[in-house]
A and B are shown apart, each in its own frame.
Chain A
Amino acid sequence: MAEVLLSEEEKYYLVLGVAQDIRVDGRSRLDYRSGDVEVNTVTNSHGSVRIRLAETDVIVAAKVDLGVPKTETPNQGIIKFLVDCSPTASPDFEGRGGDQLAETICRILSSTYAKSSSINLKSLCIVPKEFCYIVDVDILVLQCGGNLLDVIAMGVKACLGTCEIPRASGTRYDLGKPVPVFSKDEFQFDYLDVSKAPVIVTLPRVGRYFVVDATLEEESCSKGKLAIGVAPDGSITSVDKLGKACYQVRSIAASVQMAAKVGVDVNKVLSDRINKLKLSKLHSAKPWPPKPEEGMDVE
């Protein structure tokens, strides 16, 4: 994890501030910093998002591919995650330095998305056992300014929500094998339903209190943190303890409830933003108008 070195006095100052509910940048314990989401930053992907929260800067891009479903889940599509911690984000990520962090983030993302009911993976299946969509989600960390996991989770949700998945209009049989038929209009696409998809709320413990959206300095005051996935209806989709801290049962229970409360608000803001982004995409990003159907059917 990217870390900054702080002296004992600086840590003491931060911890005391958190105890009085005034953090160094003037926020209270449950406040987020301001951020922004841009869409279509990577033009050769099916959906991409650049998300910034204060100094943290992440690009998420999704690529949709045709593939074969896994044998255990023959009627489900596949979502894969790949996190790349660029050395520009932090000198700690040089060489293989960011590998463990990237692995941890991948694990949390795939347990919240690929192993839970938050996204209907059946909608990514075209022909059971034969064809499904494989969505490769690539995450590039450009700058790490604290609270990386939350920002990545928000970016993934926005990216999947604005990702254009080509519409398979049916199947035909070629030599006894089913083949998906795609619509001739290349602009026909579907959006994935992310109305149940979770965001992650990371709660590092600074002193005796949990805080949301910690800066790098605050993260270096805490030994460990809890990453809690929260669905829009307030239910918990994943809990992970990161770092070498120990917690009491009641403090985990309290932080889960706190995260559920915060997570619902974050989800609401993000969903509004995703809907706006979808609308803006419809009005811009069309280089030429869709061709009329009847002109294409000449054989």
Chain B
Amino acid sequence: MSNDSDSQMEVGQSDEFERLKGQTKSESLFPKPPLVNPKTNKRQDGRSPKDVRPIYVQTGVRDGAKGSAYVEMGTTKVLCIVSGPKDLPKKMDLSSTGIISVDVQLVGGKMSEKDVILIKECMEAVVILEKFPKCLLEIFLTIMEDGGSSIAASICAAGLALVDSGVPIYDTPVGSTLLYDGKDFYLDPSKSELDSVDLTDSEKNDSGGGIVTMGYLPTREQICLFTMEGKMDAEVLASAMDSLTNVNLKVFAVIRHHSMELMKEFKETKSKVNK
């Protein structure tokens, strides 16, 4: 007969089989390291909490495409190719504005549908869709390595590819991610840092915690993508948005520098052709 008492799960032994006596509480095989080394106040990869990983951008990486860009944020590597605007396929409904389709490929995995919708809605807010009615603009993103903050890197790559392709856009979008552990903000978190926070733990998370991703149009000072998960106070969220804005401006400085160089090259080649 079974023991029908209301006690919590008791670990016992069956009569016939010996059960190994060991840990009864499940624990991860790989203990999660703390976000910050308390001695040096540095993160796992040697950054301080407010530091951003190095960024590398390049445009025109694929000759065949109308516009292409390659962005590295730390170990996150994203390639973006833009094709179009071209005629709408016959099966699609006619639209008075342009239509954007976003296709994301994650090497060795699949990006969740929700993140694709987020990126798509961001791009719809960035491209001046009224300029090419009844046309389709295709954005292909390949995330070659996901080292955290892949949505932010995807936005930067897509924005640069749009710049490269010459499609009319309101502004170059930049993106960044922030991690909040209940006490501090960690800017531009890496994959291992994102994995090490458990947002579902209700006992630990009384002080809150969350992940915020923001896409930003720097010259228009507007937000084109915003998503937050976790638990935060309204005031904390406001200050998180402020620091995200600062990071986005830093990212934009890199992108602007690159675009200026592009412009210079373009002018030089143009003058040569004219001569």
Residues of A at the B interface (CB closer than 8 Å) are 73-76, 100, 103-104, 106-107, 111, 114-122, 126-129, 169-176, 178, 181, 183-184, 196, 224, 226, 231, 234-249, 252-253, 256-257, 260, 297, 299
Contact = CB atoms under 8 A, between A and B. Distances in A.
B200 to A, nearest CB: 6
Contact of A103 (B7, B114, B220): B114
Contacts of A253: 234, 237-238, 241
Contact of A107 (B16, B117, B125): B117
Contacts of B63: none
Contacts of B223: 241, 246-249, 252
B125 A244 contact: yes
B220 A129 contact: no
Interface in B95-145: 112-114, 117, 121, 124-125
Given A129-B26, A241-B121, A256-B238, A117 B227 contact: no
Given A170-B10, A253-B238, A246 B125 contact: yes
B270 to A, nearest CB: 33
Given A231-B231, A247-B222, A256 B2 contact: no
A175 B2 contact: no
A115 B199 contact: yes
Interface stretch (B45-53, B80-88, B148-156, B201-209): B201-209
B12 interface: yes
Contacts, number: 157
B229 A170 contact: no
B226 interface: yes
A176 B17 contact: yes
A252 B199 contact: no
B12 A235 contact: no
Interface string B214-227: 00010011111111
A4 B232 CA distance: 35
A120 B113 CA distance: 26
B120 to A, nearest CB: 9
Of the candidates B13, B125, B234, B241, the one having the most CB atoms from chain A within 10 angstroms of its own CB is B234
B178 to A, nearest CB: 13
A283 to B, nearest CB: 25
Contact of B200 (A115, A170, A256): A115
B227 A239 contact: yes
Contacts of A126: 9
Of the candidates A117, A240, A299, the one having the most CB atoms from chain B within 10 angstroms of its own CB is A117
A101 to B, nearest CB: 10
Interface of B: 1-14, 16-19, 25-26, 112-114, 117, 121, 124-125, 170, 199-202, 205, 208, 212, 217, 220-234, 237-238, 241-242, 245
B202 A184 contact: no
B14 A175 contact: yes
B220 A238 contact: no
The 9 closest A-B CB pairs, nearest first, are A107-B114, A117-B202, A176-B17, A244-B124, A246-B222, A173-B14, A239-B228, A74-B26, A128-B26
A244 B4 contact: no
A246 B217 contact: yes
A172 B1 CA distance: 10
A116 B230 contact: yes
A116 B234 contact: no
Nearest to A167: B6
B116 to A, nearest CB: 9
A241 B227 contact: yes
Contacts of A242: 121
Nearest to B16: A175
A170 B4 contact: yes
A260 B234 contact: yes
B25 A172 contact: no
A217 B117 CA distance: 24
Contact of A116 (B9, B124, B200, B241): B200
Given A119-B202, A169-B4, A236-B234, 9 more contacts: A75-B25, A104-B114, A116-B199, A127-B9, A170-B8, A239-B212, A246-B217, A247-B222, A257-B238
Contacts of B112: 107
A245 B122 CA distance: 9
A249 B242 contact: yes
B121 A239 contact: no
Of the candidates A128, A170, A176, the one having the most CB atoms from chain B within 10 angstroms of its own CB is A170
13 contacts: A106-B114, A116-B231, A126-B9, A128-B26, A129-B26, A170-B6, A244-B124, A246-B220, A248-B223, A249-B221, A249-B223, A253-B234, A256-B234
A248 B223 CA distance: 6
Contacts of A236: 228, 231-234, 237
B234 to A, nearest CB: 5
A117 B200 contact: yes
Contacts of A76: 200
A70 B14 CA distance: 26
